[in-house]
Amino acid sequence: MARIKTDICIIGAGSGGLSVAAGAVQMGADVTLIEGHKMGGDCLNYGCVPSKALLAAGHRAHAVARGGFGTAGHDPVPDFAAAKDHVQATIDTIAPVDSQERFEGLGVRVIRAEARFISETEVQAGDTIITARRFVIATGSRPFIPPIPGLADTPHHTNETIFALRERPDHLIIIGGGPIGMEMAQAHRRLGCRVTVIEGARALGRDDPEAAAVVLDHLRAEGIEIVEGAEVTSVSGTDGAIRLETGDGRRVDGSHLLVAVGRQVNTDRLDLDRAHVAHDRRGVTVDSGLRSTNRRVYAVGDAAGGLQFTHVAGYHAGVIIRSMLFGLPARARTDHVPRTTYTDPELAQVGLTEAEARKIHGDRLFIARADFAHNDRAIANGQTTGFCKVMVVKGRPVGATIVGPQAGELIQIWALALANRLKMSAIAGMISPYPTLGEINKRAAGAYFSPRLFESPMVKRIVRLVQRLP
Ligand SMILES: Cc1cc2nc3c(=O)[nH]c(=O)nc-3n(C[C@H](O)[C@H](O)[C@H](O)COP(=O)(O)OP(=O)(O)OC[C@H]3O[C@@H](n4cnc5c(N)ncnc54)[C@H](O)[C@@H]3O)c2cc1C
Ligand SMILES: NC(=O)c1ccc[n+]([C@@H]2O[C@H](COP(=O)([O-])OP(=O)(O)OC[C@H]3O[C@@H](n4cnc5c(N)ncnc54)[C@H](O)[C@@H]3O)[C@@H](O)[C@H]2O)c1
């Protein structure tokens, strides 16, 4: 058995682990990174990257089919396998950034083996025992497979297999109407599949209901069947002939099945109890600085039991580097974290939703709002569906919701405002180039000030007074 001593030992080379490794090694720490499967983790191989590439292929097929503005649409029969080639090419293009070679080039020691704790201060990976000053658990998550009768014996896909499927499904049934379910529903629909989504509660249920309804109406109009409030009671069938039954007596027959009902954290094979690291179903138990009950051990990304996004894993890395390398106090915030579901239209959120803000701030809440229907660029582009609404308390935004074209790009100004606690006046004082979709943000900020300026007797009195001056 080989033995290694290192400053920082990171388990998992996904979004979180790679960010910690790159930052720590470049600041002078001795870093060991352990990966049991593919470098790049879920985001690169089975998550963000392939899903956005498949959506891009779907959006292109849809644009061609739709035509418009004088260009005739024609119904392409999208080449599903070629769309998958685009997915693979996208992964291949990005992969070198996450590769073993790149990290070794930066000076990181990379071990390709499954890791587990053998004591409070040691991890074993293959035939190597690593003793470290600090450990980072960055082991991510995997698809949760619910205990639905028949599911285990019926062929089904998850995000780990669906991107490798090269034959177009005739009829894809998706269990789960969260971000994975809805993004995959639209990508497959636009690539020529029939799609049915079975959602146990409300589709896009974590999002503002008004914004979610805009997306769901759009998806339904494209022909995606979305069944909400339906409990799947049994699944059966064989390759190409899947049958699913729901509690309300519905029967759905399809050719393929995708299960997308949430995630299970990868902490079960780490022997965390041996390291005295407390954990539960949601992940490693961490304090506000992402430190576990064993002070040597931190957790980042999905394994830390909170929000499950690549940019959160990257943000976590910055927080713990501050603490591990410089011994400075560091706290992970969540109030300024944005998220986007990349359907068309996109749905983006940062901070509190309207309902959350109303619950916390009551009557002090002001909703400033602007619609894409009044945005000149959106009109020119023929994309007028959607809106921006900003939750404002005492002159500062506490949340923003945007549904519409490029919502994920447009939300960023509100992410900046929340991260830096800017006032609405900072956004209103900015000049947006005309005509841009981004003007919607300035228009929303203007909607906050309009009543204060245009409906204020005091303002009117001052203006009248000044006009009397010579
Ligand atoms: C279909 C899909 C689409 C998504 N789209 C987006 C998106 O658009 N935007 C976004 O922000 N987020 C998206 N996400 C979420 C995002 O992928 C995750 O939040 C992110 O990958 C989490 O990073 P991580 O570092 O915590 O884990 P991961 O990226 O999963 O990395 C964990 C790594 O640890 C390794 N590992 C696990 N156990 C061990 C062990 N014992 N020993 C050694 N190695 C181990 C794994 O092999 C893996 O490589 C998506 C997820 C899915 C499934
Ligand atoms: N664009 C993005 O940023 C993006 C995209 C995809 C995934 N993600 C991340 O990955 C996470 C996981 O995504 P997800 O969509 O799998 O999970 P999710 O938890 O967000 O949504 C799962 C959905 O499945 C439903 N559900 C659960 N059990 C069910 C059952 N038995 N029958 C029918 N419906 C059931 C839930 O009510 C929920 O609406 C997300 O929460 C997000 O953090 C992000």
For residue 123, the CA-to-ligand 1 centroid distance in Å is 21
SS3 call for 8: strand
E strand segments, 55-140: 109-112, 115-117, 122-125, 128-137
Statement to judge: residues 345 and 196 lie in one domain:
no
Q: 181 among the known binding-site residues?
A: yes
CATH number at 251 reads 3.50.50.60
Assess if residue 468 is contained within a domain.
Answer: no
Q: Token pair of 180, please?
A: 């994975």
CB 18 within 8 A of CB 40: yes
Using a 6 Å CB cutoff, which residues line ligand 1? Answer: 11-17, 34-38, 41-43, 46-48, 51, 114-115, 138-140, 159, 180, 266, 269-270, 301-303, 308-311, 313
Measured CA to CA, the distance from residue 299 to residue 393 in angstroms comes to: 33
pLDDT at 454: 82
Statement to judge: residues 8 and 131 lie in one domain:
yes
Measured CA to CA, the distance from residue 443 to residue 448 in angstroms comes to: 9
Statement to judge: residues 6 and 133 lie in one domain:
yes
Measured CA to CA, the distance from residue 22 to residue 204 in angstroms comes to: 34
Assess if residue 299 is contained within a domain.
Answer: yes
Statement to judge: residues 304 and 418 lie in one domain:
no
Q: 52 among the known binding-site residues?
A: yes
Q: 141 among the known binding-site residues?
A: yes
SS3 call for 434: coil
Assess if residue 33 is contained within a domain.
Answer: yes
pLDDT at 323: 96
Global pTM exceeds 0.95: yes
For ligand 2, atom 42, name the residue with the nearest CA: 308
- Spans of the chain below 50 pLDDT: none
Statement to judge: residues 250 and 281 lie in one domain:
no
From 194, 214, 196, 195, select the one nearest 204 (Cα to Cα): 214
Statement to judge: residues 319 and 422 lie in one domain:
no
Please name the residue that has the structure tokens 């949430």. 262
The whole-angstrom distance between residue 38's C-alpha and the CA centroid of its chain comes to: 20
The region that residue 324 occupies, defined by phi over 0 for left and psi between -120 and 50 for alpha, beta otherwise, is alpha
Q: Name the residue range of residue 25's domain.
A: 2-39+99-142+264-326
Statement to judge: residues 394 and 372 lie in one domain:
yes
From 254, 260, 249, select the one nearest 237 (Cα to Cα): 254
CB 169 within 8 A of CB 44: no
CATH number at 372 reads 3.30.390.30
Assess if residue 222 is contained within a domain.
Answer: yes
- Give the CA-trace dihedral at 48, 49, 51, 54, to 10 degrees: 160
Assess if residue 67 is contained within a domain.
Answer: no
Statement to judge: residues 131 and 272 lie in one domain:
yes
Statement to judge: residues 354 and 389 lie in one domain:
yes
pLDDT at 453: 77
Assess if residue 358 is contained within a domain.
Answer: yes
Measured CA to CA, the distance from residue 378 to residue 443 in angstroms comes to: 13
What are 213-272's pLDDT values in tens digits? 999 999 999 999 999 999 999 999 999 999 999 998 999 999 999 999 999 999 999 999
| Predicted-complex ipTM score | 0.98
For residue 268, the CA-to-ligand 1 centroid distance in Å is 16
Assess if residue 56 is contained within a domain.
Answer: no
From 303, 211, 197, select the one nearest 260 (Cα to Cα): 197
Assess if residue 155 is contained within a domain.
Answer: yes
pLDDT at 139: 98
Statement to judge: residues 391 and 422 lie in one domain:
yes
What are 408-421's pLDDT values in tens digits? 999 999 999 999 99
Q: Token pair of 142, please?
A: 């995997």
Residues 6+ apart with CB under 8 A from 234: 148, 149, 150, 244, 245
Q: Token pair of 80, please?
A: 């599903």
CB 61 within 8 A of CB 78: yes
For residue 266, the CA-to-ligand 1 centroid distance in Å is 10
Statement to judge: residues 278 and 134 lie in one domain:
yes
Mutate to test the pocket of ligand 2, among 159, 261, 341 (most ligand atoms within 8 A of CB): 261
Measured CA to CA, the distance from residue 186 to residue 319 in angstroms comes to: 35
Please give the helix or strand (H or E) that residue 404 lies within, else none: strand 396-404
Q: How many domains does the chain have?
A: 3
Q: Token pair of 324, please?
A: 């591990």
Please give the helix or strand (H or E) that residue 7 lies within, else none: strand 2-11
Statement to judge: residues 243 and 271 lie in one domain:
no
What is the DSSP code string of 28-41?
Answer: T--EEEEESS-TTH
For residue 124, the CA-to-ligand 2 centroid distance in Å is 33
Q: How many CB atoms lie within 10 A of CB 77?
A: 9
